[in-house]
Amino acid sequence: MTFADVVLALIPYNFSPLIVIAFALVLGFYLMGVKRLTSHDRPGIGRVITFLLGLGLCYGVLQTRFDFYAQHLFFAHRAQHLIIHHVGPILIALSNPLPVAHYWYRQLSAPLQAGLARLGRLYRFLQHPVIAALLFVGLVYLWLWPDIHFSAMRNRALYELMNLSLLLEGLLFWWLMLDPRRPQSSVALGYGKRIIVLIAVMIPQIAIGAWITFQTEPLYDVYRLMEQPLNLEPIGDQLLGGILTWIPPALMSVLGSLILLSFIARDDRLDDQHRREQENDAGANTAPVA
C-alpha cells in the first residue's frame, strides 16, 4: 500500500461538516479536560487510549473511505452500525470519561444553567431503563425497515440522521449499562437491572438478525442501484449483513454482562477490605493498655 492509498483511505467519502466539527469538539474538550484535571482525578493513559480508540473507530467508519463501502454494501453498512452503536460506545464508556464531563459541567453550569437543567431532565428521561432499552432496539428496527432504509440510503440528510441517532443512543445506552460507579452510593442503575436490560435488548436483536439472514430474496433493493465494489451477489451481501446484525450485537450483551459481573466482584472485594479495616481499627481501639 502506497502513501497515496493511505491518504485516499482516510479522506472522507462524503465530507460532513457536522460530523467533523462534532468529533473535533468532543476530542478537543476531552483532551483539554484531561489536561486541566487534578492528578487525583486525571484518567490514566490506558483510559485515555481507550476513549481515543472508541472515538477514532466511530469517526473512521463515518468519515473515511469506509463510508463508501457502507453506502454500497449492506454488510459494510451493518459493520458500520456495529461500530457506532456497540463497539465504539462500549470503549468510550469503559474509559469512564465522567471526571472530564464533571469538570466541564462545573465550568459551564453558571453561564448555561437554564439550558443544562433542561438537558439534564431530558437525559434522565432517556436514561430510564425501559426508555433506554426501547430506543436502543427501536432505532435498529426503524432504520432496518426496508422502505425507511431505502430512503435513508438515498437521502444524505436522512443518512446522517440515521448514523448520528444510532451513535448518540449507543453512547447513552452503554454508559447506562457500564457506568463504573457503585449503585449503592450513586445514581447509577443497579447491576441486576442492567443485566436484565442487556438480556432484554439481546433477544429482539437476535430476532431481526436471524430474520434477515434466512431471507431467500433480497430485502434491500437500494443496493442493487449502487456500484458493487466487491462484486457480491445481493443475497450473499444480505446474508453477511444479517449475520453481523445477529451475532456480534448479541455477544456485546454477553460482554456487557461479564463486565458487570466484574464490577460486582470488585465491589465485593472493596466491601471485604473495608470490613477488615474496620475490624482492625476496632481491635486496636479495644486492645488493653500496658
Instruction: Give the DSSP letter string of the chain.
Output: --HHHHHHHHS-SS--HHHHHHHHHHHHHHHHHHHHS-TTTSPPHHHHHHHHHHHHHHHHHHSSTHHHHHHH-HHHHHHHHHIIIIIHHHHHHHT--HHHHHHHHHHHTTTTHHHHHHHHHHHHHHTSHHHHHHHHHHHHHHHHSHHHHHHHHH-HHHHHHHHHHHHHHHHHHHHHHH--S-GGGSSPPPHHHHHHHHHHHHHHHHHHHHHHHT-SS-S-GGGGGS--TT---HHHHHHHHHHHHHHHHHHHHHHHHHHHHHHHHHHHHHHHHHHHHHHHHHHHHHSPP-
Residue 282 belongs to a domain: no
Question: Tell me, what's the pLDDT at 84?
Answer: 97
Q: Are 182 and 188 in contact (CB under 8 A)?
A: yes
Residue 283 belongs to a domain: no
Q: Measured in Å, how far apart are the chain's first and last C-alpha atoms?
A: 79
Residue 276 belongs to a domain: no
Question: Tell me, what's the pLDDT at 58?
Answer: 97
Single-letter residue type at 119: L
Question: Tell me, what's the pLDDT at 276?
Answer: 85
Question: Tell me, what's the pLDDT at 185?
Answer: 86
Residue 50 belongs to a domain: yes
What is the rounded radius of gyration, in angstroms, for the C-alpha atoms of the chain?
23
Question: Tell me, what's the pLDDT at 74?
Answer: 96
* pLDDT beneath 70: ranges in the chain: 1, 113, 282-290
Cell 434491500 belongs to residue = 220
| Structural domains of the chain, count | 1
- Exposure pattern of 198-216 as b/e (b: 16+ CB <10 Å)? bebbbebbbebbeebbeee
Q: Distance between CA 220 and CA 145 in Å, rounded? A: 9
Four-point Cα dihedral 163, 168, 170, 175, nearest 10: 160
Structural domain range at position 245: 3-265
Residue 289 belongs to a domain: no
Q: Are 44 and 97 in contact (CB under 8 A)?
A: no
Residue 158 belongs to a domain: yes
Question: Tell me, what's the pLDDT at 285?
Answer: 66
Residue 224 belongs to a domain: yes
Residue 61 belongs to a domain: yes
